A and B are shown apart, each in its own frame.
Chain A
Amino acid sequence: MSKRVLYLIPLAVFLAMAAYFWRGLGTNPQTIPSVLIDTPVPAFSLPPIDGRDVGLSSDDLKGQVSLVNIFGSWCVACRIEHPFLMELRASDTVPIHGIDWREKNRQAGPSWLARHGDPYTLTGDDPDSKAAIAFGVTGAPETFIVDANGVIRYKQIGPITADIWKNQLWPIVQKLRGE
C-alpha cells in the first residue's frame, strides 16, 4: 500500500507543477519583473522600416525622456493601444519611438502605420528580435520609459490606456524630467 503511494508521488508533483504553469498562463503578465530596469539601454541599431530613411539606435534615446514602444502589425493588442498613442503624439507630451517587431513581411509595418496613423518620432525595423531580445521584451505591446541618460526606468507590459498613462506612466515621466 505505502509502496503504491510512493510511486504516485512523481505523477502528483508533476501534475501540480503543470497546474501551476497553466495558472501562470492565465495570470496577468504585467507582474513579470525586468532585470533591465535602471540599466542603460543595451546598444542596438535598427534599420528603418521599408520606405523610410531613418532607423532607431540606442544613441537616439539619449538627451531627453522618451518612450520606446514595441509593436507589430500582427499584434491585436497594439491595435487597441494605437488610438491612445496617436492622442499622445497629437498632444506632443513626450517623444515615442517605435520598434516594429517580428514582421513577416517588410511592407506590413509601414502599411499598418499608413492606415492607422504614425505616432512615432523614430521607428526601427526589428524582424529578427535583435533589439527586442536586448530589451528583454516578452510580448507586444510593451513600452519602456527611457530617461535623458538613456537608462531604462520603467517597463509597461500590455497596452497603454488613458488610465494607465495618467496614473502610472505620466507621473514617472514628469519625475524623470525633474531629475
Chain B
Amino acid sequence: MTVELGHFSLVLALVVALVQGTIPLLGAHRNDHDLMMVARTAAIAQMLLVGIAFAALVHAYMVSDFSVRSVVMNSNSLKPMLYKISGTWGNHEGSMLLWVLILAVFGGVLAWFGGSLPPALKARALAVQAWLAFGFYLFILLTSNPFERLVPPAVDGRGLNPLLQDPGLAFHPPFLYLGYVGFSMAFSFAIAALIEGRVDAAWARWVRPWTLVAWVFLTIGITLGAWWAYYELGWGGWWYWDPVENASFMPWLAGTALLHSAIVVEKRDALKGWTVFLAIVTFGLSLLGTFLVRSGVLTSVHAFAVDPARGVFILALLLIIIGGSFALFAWRGPSLKGGGLFQPISREGGLLLNNLLLSVAAAAVLVGTLYPLVYQAITDGKISVGPPFFNAVFVPLMAPLLVAMAVGPLLPWKRGDLSPALRRLWVAAVAVLGVTAVVWSQVTDMSLFGFLGMALAAWLLVGTLVELAGRIRLFRAPITDSLRRLARLPRSALGMTLAHAGLAIAIAGMAGAGAWKIERIQVMAPGDTVTVAGFTYTFEGAQPTRGPNYIATRGTFTVTRNGKPVATLEAEKRRYPVEKRETTEAAIHPTFWGDLYVVIGDQKNTDGAHVTRIYFNPMIGWLWAGVAVMVIGGAVSLSDRRHRVGAPSRRRADVFGGATARS
C-alpha cells in the first residue's frame, strides 16, 4: 500500500511540475503577481510529494518488502539496517528517485526562503526547475520505476554489492547528488536571466550561495569516494582517473570556476555572459556525470543495446536541456550588457586566469574521458587514455593556477601592479626554498612531481597567510588590534583564506602520497617481520572470524619503531556468501607524516603463511585534512551575512544600529 502511495505521489509531482513550469512563466511575462505566486505553492507541493514517494521507497527497503522488484534486486533481510536504508539509493532506480528528491528540496527551499528575490526572476527560475523535474519524473515513471511490484514476491533479496556496504560509500552518492543537483539552481537562475535578458549584482548574489552549497557538497562527495577507494580497494591509491571519477571531477572544476566568476559579476558587473555560460556548462557536466556515466553510455556504446529505452531517453533529455540552453544562450546572450572594465593585472584578471585554467582543465578531463569514443568514431582505431594522459595535462595546468592563486587575492580590483604583490610574497618564496631543502634531505627518491607539489603547496599556503596577515595588519599593529580585525573580517574573506589554505594542505598530501608511496608485497608466516619506512611489522597470524553477513580472515600485525610499540593492526579479507564476493579491509594506522597501511591476501600454504601487502603512504592524511579545511572554508563563506535572507536591508540597518549597540 505504501508503495502504491509512493508511486501515486510521484505521478502527482509530475502533474504539479507541469503546472509549475507553465503558469509562473506566463505570470512573469504578463507581470501578473498571482500567477507568479503559483510557483511558490507548486514548488513546496512538489517537495512534499517527492518526499512522500522517497519515504515510501525507504520504508519498503527498511521492512524488506520483497514484493518490490527494486528491493529484491538490491537488498537482503540479513543486511544491517544502515545498509538496508542506503540500499535505497545504491541502484539505478532508487538513485534516480534520490536525484529528483534533492531537486525538489532545492526548489522548495528557494520557494520558501526566496522572499527577497525579484518576483519575476524567482518565478522564472522555479519554472526552469520544474521543467528539469518534469523531464526526470517522466524518465523515472516510464523507464526506471522503483515502485514496480514483483509477482510472485521473492522469499529473500539478492543483496547489495558488498563493496557498497560501507559507510564511506553509503553516503558518497547522496553527497555527489547534492552537489550535482545543487548546480541546477545556478542553471535555473542562468536560464531565467537569459529569458529576462538581465544579469546584475543581485542576480550574482543569489547564484553564488547556491553554487557554494553545491560546491561544498560535491567536494565532500568526491572526497568520500576517494577516501573509500583508499581504504576499501586495498591498493593504497585514492584516485584512478576512471570515467566515473572524472564525471564528478568535471562539474567540480567548472563549478569552482563559476564560484569565482560570479564574484566578478557581483563586485564588478563584468564577465556576465561567461558566468551564465559557466552555469550552463557546470550543470550540463553534472547531468553528464549522473546519467551518461551511471548508465554506462559513456564507457560503452553498447549500453544502448542492453537497455535502449533508457539510453535514448537520457540522450534525448540531455540534448534538449543542454542544447536548448546553449541555443537560448546564443540568442539572448549577446544582449547581456557588460559593465566594469579592468586591466589584465587586477583582481578580476586573476579570477579570469583562474577561470581559464579551470575551464581548460575541465575540458581536458572531458576530452580524456570521451576521447576513446570520439577517436573510435572518427578512425575506427583503438585507444585507451589513462593516468599518464591526465597527469601530463593536469600538472602543467594546475601549477600556474596554484602560483597565481597566491598572487590574485593580493591584487586590487580594476587595475593592479604585480611588483608590490610579489614583494609581499617574499615569505612564501622563502618557504618554498625551505620546504624543498627539507624534502631533499628526507627522501631518497627524487621525484619531480613530488618536489613541484610540495613547493607549490608551501607557496600557496604561505601566500594565503600573507594575504590574511595583510588584512588583519599582523605584526604591523598591536596583536590585540590584529585579533579584533580577524574577528571582524567578512566571513566570505575568511572562507576564501580557509579554502585556499585547505587546497594547499591537500596538494601537499597529493604530492607526498603520489611521489613517495612505499609498497612491499611478500609472503609472511606467523612470526615473520618486515620493515617498511622504518616501521617493523610482525605478522602474528590469521584467524577466521565472522560478521553479520560475511565471514572473514583476520590477520593481526604488531608494529614497532626502534623497538617501541606503535600500533596493532588487524586487516581483514571478507567473503559475503549471499553475494559470493570478496572484499579487502585494509588496516590503517594514520600518523602525522603518513599512514601505515596493511592488506592481507590469500593463504599460501597450510602453516598459516599469507600474502601480505604493506604500504607507507606519506602525507595522505594531509589530503583529507586539507579537503576538510576547504569544506569548512566554503561553509564559513556561506555564513557571510550578505548571503543571508534579506541581507541588503539588514546591512543598512546595521550601519545605523551598530553605533548605538556599541555605546
Measured between C-beta atoms, what is the minimum distance from A3 to chain B in Å? Answer: 5
Per-residue CB contact flags for chain A residues 1-39 toward chain B (1 = under 8 Å, else 0) read 001100110110011011011011101110111010000
- In the complex with contacts A25-B304, A130-B581, A31-B326 CB distance below 8 A: no
Mark out the residues of chain A between 22 and 59 whose CB falls within 8 Å of any chain B CB in the assembled complex: 23-25, 27-29, 31-33, 35, 43-47
The answer, yes or no, to whether B323 is at the interface (CB within 8 Å) is yes
Does chain A have a CB within 8 A of B303? Answer: yes
**Contact (Cβ within 8 A) B330 A139:** no
- B301 with A11: CB separation less than 8 A: no
**Least distance between B236 CB and chain A CB atoms (Å):** 19
When the two chains form their complex, are residues B73 and A14 in contact, meaning their CB atoms are under 8 A apart?
no
Q: How far is the CA of A140 from the CA of B377 in the complex (A)?
A: 21
Do B377 and A139 have beta carbons less than 8 Å apart?
A: no
B580 touches A29 (CB 8 A): no
B384 at the interface (CB under 8 A from A): yes
How far in angstroms is the closest Cβ of chain B from A100?
14
**Bound-complex Cα distance A29 to B299 (A):** 12
A161 at the interface (CB under 8 A from B): no
Once the chains bind, are B580 and A11 in contact (CB under 8 Å)? Answer: no
Given contacts A10-B330, A35-B384, contact A157 B302 (CB under 8 A): yes
> A20 is contacted by which of B300, B306, B334, B374 (Cβ under 8 Å)?
B374
Instruction: Name A10's contact: one of B296, B329, B378, B382 (CB within 8 Å).
Output: B329
With A11-B326, A15-B323, A18-B319 as known contacts, state yes or no: A47 contacts B380, CB within 8 Å.
no
Q: Chain A residue with minimal CB distance to B386?
A: A35
How many residues of chain A are within 8 Å of chain B by beta carbon?
35
A95 at the interface (CB under 8 A from B): no
**A138 near B: Cβ within 8 Å?**
yes
| A28 cross-chain contacts in B, Cβ below 8 A | 380
In the complex, which residues of chain A have a beta carbon less than 8 angstroms from the beta carbon of B329? 7, 10-11
Task: Take A11-B323, A21-B315, A130-B581 as given contacts and tell me if A139 and B300 are in contact as well, using a CB distance cutoff of 8 Å.
Answer: yes
A60 within 8 A of B: no
Give CA–CA (A11, B330) in the complex, Å. 7
Pick from A11, A31, A102: contact of B327, CB under 8 Å: A11
Nearest chain A CB to B475 CB, angstrom units: 47
Cβ proximity bits B298-323 to A, threshold 8 Å, 1 near / 0 not: 01111111100000000100010011
User: CB of B376 within 8 A of chain A?
Assistant: yes
Asked whether B579 is an interface residue with its Cβ less than 8 Å from the other chain, the reply is yes
Nearest A-chain residue to B376, judged by Cβ: A31
CA gap between A24 and B281 in the complex, in Å: 22
User: Quick one: which of A27, A32, A140 contacts B306, CB cutoff 8 A?
Assistant: A140
* Closest A residue, CB atoms, query B315: A21
Given A21-B315, A29-B302, residue A46 in contact with residue B334 (CB < 8 A): no
Chain A, residues 101-132, CB within 8 Å of chain B (1/0): the string is 01000000000000000000000000110100
Across-interface contacts of B376 in A (CB, < 8 A): 24, 27, 31-32
Q: Are B377 and A128 in contact (CB under 8 A)?
A: no
User: A residues within 8 A CB of B299?
Assistant: 138
B326 and chain A: residue at smallest CB distance = A11
Whether A139 pairs with B306 at a CB distance below 8 angstroms is yes
Bound state CA distance, A127 and B579, in angstroms? Answer: 11
Tell me if A4 and B580 are in contact (CB < 8 A).
no
Residues of A within 8 A of B280 (CB): 10
Asked if B330 contacts A23 (CB within 8 A), the reply is: no
- CB of A139 within 8 A of CB of B334, answer no
Choose one: B300, B315, B579; the contact of A138 (CB below 8 Å): B300
- Tell me, yes or no, whether B333 is within 8 Å of chain A by CB: yes
B73 near A33: Cβ-Cβ < 8 Å: no
Task: Let me know if B448 is at the binding interface, CB within 8 A.
Answer: no
**A3-B334, A32-B300 known; A24 and B73 CB under 8 Å?**
no
Q: Does B534 contact A (CB under 8 A)?
A: no
Among the interface residues B73, B315, B330, which one has the most CB atoms of the partner chain A within 10 A?
A: B330
B residues 108-130 near A (Cβ < 8 Å) are none
The answer for the CA separation of A148 and B282 in the assembled complex, in Å, is 49
Tell me the complex Cα distance, A24–B311, Å. Answer: 13
With A10-B277, A31-B382, A128-B158 in contact, is A138–B303 under 8 Å at CB? yes
Contact assessment for A7 and B374 in the assembled complex, using a CB-CB cutoff below 8 Å: no
Partner of B301, one of A4, A47, A138: A138
Question: Complex: how many Å from CA A3 to CA B331?
Answer: 11
Q: Which of B302, B322, B373, B580 interacts with A47 by CB under 8 Å?
A: B580
Cα distance A14–B324 when bound, in Å?
10
Asked if A31 contacts B381 (CB within 8 A), the reply is: yes
Contact: A24 with B377, CB < 8 Å? Answer: yes
- Cβ-closest chain A residue relative to B328: A11
Chain B residues with Cβ under 8 A from A157's Cβ? 302
Q: Compute how far the CA of A43 lies from the CA of B377 in the bound complex, rounded to whole angstroms.
A: 32
Q: Is the CB of B326 within 8 A of A14?
A: yes
Whether B408 sits at the interface, judged by CB under 8 Å, is no
B362-413 contacts to A, CB under 8 A, are 370, 372-374, 376-378, 380-384
In the complex, chain B residues whose CB is within 8 Å of the CB of A32: 300-302, 376, 382
Complex interface: chain B residues within 8 A of A31 (CB)? 376, 380-382
Q: Does B323 lie within 8 Å of A14, measured CB to CB?
A: yes
Name B's A-contacting residues (CB within 8 A).
73, 158, 161, 273, 277, 280-281, 296, 299-306, 315, 319, 322-323, 326-327, 329-330, 333-334, 370, 372-374, 376-378, 380-384, 579-582
11 residue pairs from A and B, CB less than 8 Å apart? A4-B330, A18-B323, A27-B380, A31-B381, A47-B580, A102-B306, A127-B158, A128-B158, A138-B300, A138-B301, A139-B305
List 7 extra interface pairs beyond A24-B373, A27-B380, A130-B161, CB under 8 A.
A7-B273, A7-B333, A8-B330, A24-B377, A27-B301, A28-B380, A29-B305
